[in-house]
Structures are given as structure tokens and as C-alpha cells.
A and B are shown apart, each in its own frame.
Chain A
């Protein structure tokens, strides 16, 4: 097997990973920086289709402090202040970098970036990912596309590299590194999509971000936080297209089936509804039989309609098909909206790896940034980039602590990782291969759909109105445990299938962790996102804490044994890393 040596190993070439590579090369041009990307950095991850706003930016008058207050108010006063604050300080630098790389922006009369909402600016982001990829190639980092990271290589509780599957030929490479960054994005596919069949991947979040980075870090003993705060998006029904362009961009009102403006019929914690409360109000209307709800585009001019069409082509082309399939122009037909399936996504919500202010996980040598990192919601593209940059800076501060792993220990650790990763592979000489391939594919698919059915039904999926209770969660735990067992028998005959088996395994593991989190938090803190039938009220006295989980490292192969840890909130944002580090001292429960 090939061994590749590098200094800074980045798993995932999205917003966070690309910035982590560029920053590393700025700090140390002679260092080896390697990006492992499962697809091609050109169009991989969340940004594949493009976007049309930078959703985290400090407009004139805003500060890192005011950004933090805004995020806290949106998330029931429980976020990691230190993380939100330190990324907020870098948001405008990241936006300027994107513009420098060629991202087209709109400007107001004073030449400032055109404001779209309190913390967002309007852009033309169809090519945001290719522009980032060009900057990445320019910086001189080594980029390995179509390579899937499957496992971390761990020696004496320290991460020393990762095992990587080459999709082109099925070979594995062991990459030895002084520091490893998890930048593989969030997790979709734990719950069933809104529509099935040929529309099963008409999801909002990338169906290809399977949570592999979270799963491999969990298996290496890293702590995860706030999984119970699932993110559920208010999106266009059927296409799952983002709605910000309509609601914020052209300020279309929310209406129900009876044409009534329903948002004002509800009371909210503050005057204006939060993102979660808007979703909640919409679901209430559906429950009361006044759905579907819409964003009413009918007051727009034809010129605005044309601009909307272009905006969606630059971000979610199928939205344009929805209008033409209905035989209508955008300004002639209100756009139906509804809730997506739940995701675990640290860029929008709270779920992800538990990190300190300097973006270190709880395992030495392992860092995390972007959608894979928890505790700092509403970071989006620029916040993810900021975290990548901070992680790179921390890595170079600590590089002198690194010790070359002993060759024998390295061998053993690589073999252990390889054995797990290759386990689903069938013996090569199998003569029934042709048939097998199809059979494998449908078994992989079936297992994934079984998981989704269990979660949808018992663990607050969309069909259950996103609500759940202990009884259902316990039932789900039992069934997921069974599926994990059954999943060990699934086979793969080539590299792509092997990747798919790992994706389902990772989703199963994360579902199991998620259920433990959901069961542990005995209150309802975040409307819709975390809402219990058996504990319907919010309880600040007891539950203004982070719920974390961890798999004791020795228990990863056989039974999943996990421990829940409570962490107190960090209501300060010290600039020296000490504040966040001390929060690691919370007691186990």
C-alpha cells in the first residue's frame, strides 16, 4: 500500500477545507499541504450549484459583538460565544478574499457590498466553487480529487494521519500527517427525503455529505456536541430550493392557502420571528389545514421575475423548471414552501464536533471547521472559511509538538484502519460478480432507506411533524442497533460501492449518537429543531448546557457504547484560547 507524507492534511475540499489549505500555504510556503476530496474541488460539496448571498457578513454598523447577540437570540441563548465571536471577527476578511478571487458582488451607491439582510450581502455566486478551487490550485497545495477518506489513523490517542480510498482504482493510501483537519461538511440522509423515488435526492443539503468526518472522528474518540439540535430548513416544496432570495432578496410575504399573511398571527420570543419560528409558524398553518403555505411573488414586476429566474439558475436551477412546468412566470405564481428533512449541519445549526476556540477537537492532532464543527450556528460560507483559517493558524502554532510515530506502531494502526475499511469487499475471484454488483447496490440502498424509515417514524422525522418522545426514541435505538448489526453483512464489489457502504455505516453510527442526544435533553429548547412531546417546555434552569457524546475509543468495532457528557455554556469570548479550553473541564453525566 502507498504511504504519502504531508504536514497538514485536510479532509474535504469545500469552503472550510480550501481556506485551511490557502491559509496554511500563506503561513508556511514550504510546508506540505494536502487536500483529500471525495469528488472534485471544482464543484464538490454544498456549493456545487452556486449561491447568491454571503449569509454571514458584518454590514456597516455591525460588529463581532452584535453578530454574536444576533446568533444567540436566534438559538435560544445557547451557542458557543467564543466560537461565534472568533469567526465573526474574520467574516469580512473572508468576503474580501472571495471578491479578490473574482466573485462578482453587487455594490450600493457608496461602493459598499450590497446589503441583503442584517448579516448578508448579495452576490452572483454561480461560480463560487470553481473560483475557490482556482485559488486553491494557485496556492500550491497538493489536491487529490476523487479520493475518499474512510478512517483516521490513531496512535496512543493521537491522530497521525488518515486512510484514503482512491475511487479510480480501488487502491488505498495511508497518509501520514502532523495535523488532520475534518472539513467534510455536515450530514444528510439520516432522515427520509421529502419526496421519494426519482426525487429522493431532491434535498436541500448535499446528499453526498454523509457525515464521514464526524463518524471517523467519533470512532477515534472525539467529542460531538448538540446533535439533538437538528437543522430543518424552510424551503421551496418539491425543489427544496433556498428561500432567502425570495424572502430577503425581494421581500415576498408569507401567505397560507387562504391568502392570509399568517406570520403576524403568532407571538414570538422577540418581536420578529427567528428562522426557527418562521418554520414553526408555517408548520402550524399546515397542521391547522391552512397549508400549503407560500411566498407570494405575485406583486413582483416582470423585471423582478426575470431577475429571480436568473438568481435561481445561479444556485438551484430546478426552481426554474418548477415555474415552467406550471406554465407560469415567477411573478405569476406564489412559491409553495415547507420544511425539509432534518440534517446535522454545523454551518446552519449547532450539531458537530466539539472544538475549542482554536478549532481543536478533543483528540490531539485533530482539528475541525465548517459544517462538520458544532456550537457556532449561522456561520455559512464565510464562517466556515474563517474556521478553516483559524485551524490552520493553530496547527502551525503546535507543529513543534509533533513526534514521528514509531514505525511498528504506525504499521499496526494502518493495518487496523485498513481492515475495517476493506471489510465489505468481496473476494476478487467471485464469478457471479455481474449479478452481485446490482444486488449490492440495492442492499446498500435498502439499508439506508430502512434507517430513514425508522428515524422518520420514531425520532421526529417530517412525517411525525418533527416531534418525538422517549418511547419512540427507545424504539428507534433498538431498531438502529439492529440495522447496524445487519449492515455488517453488506458487501461491495468495487470502489464506488465500498464508498457507499461506508456512507451508510457512517449514517447509522451518527443516527445512533443522535438518538442518545435526543433522549438526554429533557426539554424543548429549539422550536421544531428539538421539540419533545413528553417535555414540551423550555427549561433554562436545568438545560442551558451543551449535551455532548463520545465513544470510548476501544469500543468502536463491536458494540457501540457511548457516553454523554454535559458541558456548561461559555458566556465569554477570551482572545487567548484559555476560556474555551477551560470549558473542556465539564463533568461527565
Chain B
């Protein structure tokens, strides 16, 4: 499970989930009620496409323990056509990187 979904933040994109639309693996689905879910969390490629389009920053990636993950996460936000990444280190420290 490498895609992290923050259920509180997901606002369902008015029923047309942007994240699900762009996922190259068609992994994300919006149930009739509630937040976005992944059909097969372990099938995520970690491409970050969904994270970059989510208007609520409800999505993040982390490395699974099988790949040496220690809990860092990456979130993204689009600001005027640019991407602002937020990297949360294992100790909770936040680092922002603008592209």
C-alpha cells in the first residue's frame, strides 16, 4: 500500500473524480458514498499522477516497507501551473520543493 488516501480531505470532485480519471492503471474508484478508494492498493505504480491533480491534497505516496520505506510521504499542489511538493520526513519535518 503506497498510495495514502486521506478520507477526510477527499471531496469527491462533484462525482467526477480527477484522480481516477488520470490513473494510468484505472486503480481508483469513487463509491456511491464516501471517499475515493483504490481497487488494489498494492498495484499502485507510484507515478504520482493522481496526487498532482487532486484539488484537496487528499492523496500522498510513500515507499512501502518492502522497498525500504520508513514513513516519508510526498504530497503535491498545483499553484499557477507550477507544482509545489511537500515532503514529510519520518521525523515529521516538512520540506517544500517548488518545480
Contacts and interface: CB of A to CB of B under 8 A. Distances in A.
A195 interface: yes
A196 interface: yes
A321 B74 contact: yes
Interface in A301-318: 309-310, 313-314, 317-318
Contacts of A43: 22-24, 47, 49
Contacts of A321: 61-63, 69, 72-74, 87
Contact of A441 (B24, B40, B47, B71): B40
Contact of A201 (B43, B49, B97): B43
A238 B24 contact: no
Contacts of B99: 126, 310, 313-314
Residue of A45, A49, A499 ringed by the most chain B CB atoms within 10 A:
A49
A45 B24 CA distance: 6
Contact of B68 (A317, A325, A327): A325
B90 A199 contact: no
Interface string A125-147: 01000000000000000000110
A505 to B, nearest CB: 18
Contact of A313 (B25, B68, B97): B97
B79 interface: no
Nearest to B64: A198
B66 A49 contact: no
Contacts of A274: none
B70 interface: yes
Contacts of B9: none
A267 interface: no
B54 interface: no
Residue of A40, A310, A326 ringed by the most chain B CB atoms within 10 A:
A40
Tell me the interface secondary structure of chain A in the complex: loop
Contacts of B64: 195, 197-199, 202
A321 B89 CA distance: 8
B86 to A, nearest CB: 11
Contact of A195 (B45, B49, B67): B67
B55 interface: no
Given A49-B47, A200-B43, A318 B63 contact: yes
A318 B95 CA distance: 15
Residue of A197, A201, A238, A441 ringed by the most chain B CB atoms within 10 A:
A201
Given A146-B26, A238-B67, A324 B72 contact: yes
B68 A207 contact: no
Interface residues of B, number: 41
Contacts of B71: 325
Interface string B44-61: 111111000000000001
Contacts of A198: 1-2, 41-42, 64-66
A98 interface: no
A299 to B, nearest CB: 22
A496 B24 CA distance: 13
Interface in A42-71: 42-45, 48-49
B72 A197 contact: no
A42 B45 contact: no
Contact of A39 (B23, B40, B68): B23
18 contacts: A39-B23, A49-B46, A195-B67, A199-B2, A199-B66, A201-B43, A202-B45, A202-B63, A208-B25, A238-B67, A239-B63, A313-B83, A317-B48, A321-B72, A321-B87, A322-B68, A327-B90, A441-B40
Given A39-B25, A317-B85, A324-B89, 8 more contacts: A39-B22, A43-B24, A48-B45, A195-B67, A201-B42, A202-B63, A208-B24, A208-B45
Interface of B: 1-2, 21-26, 39-49, 61-74, 83, 85, 87, 89-90, 95, 97, 99
7 closest Cβ pairs, A-B complex: A198-B64, A199-B66, A325-B70, A43-B49, A48-B47, A324-B72, A199-B67
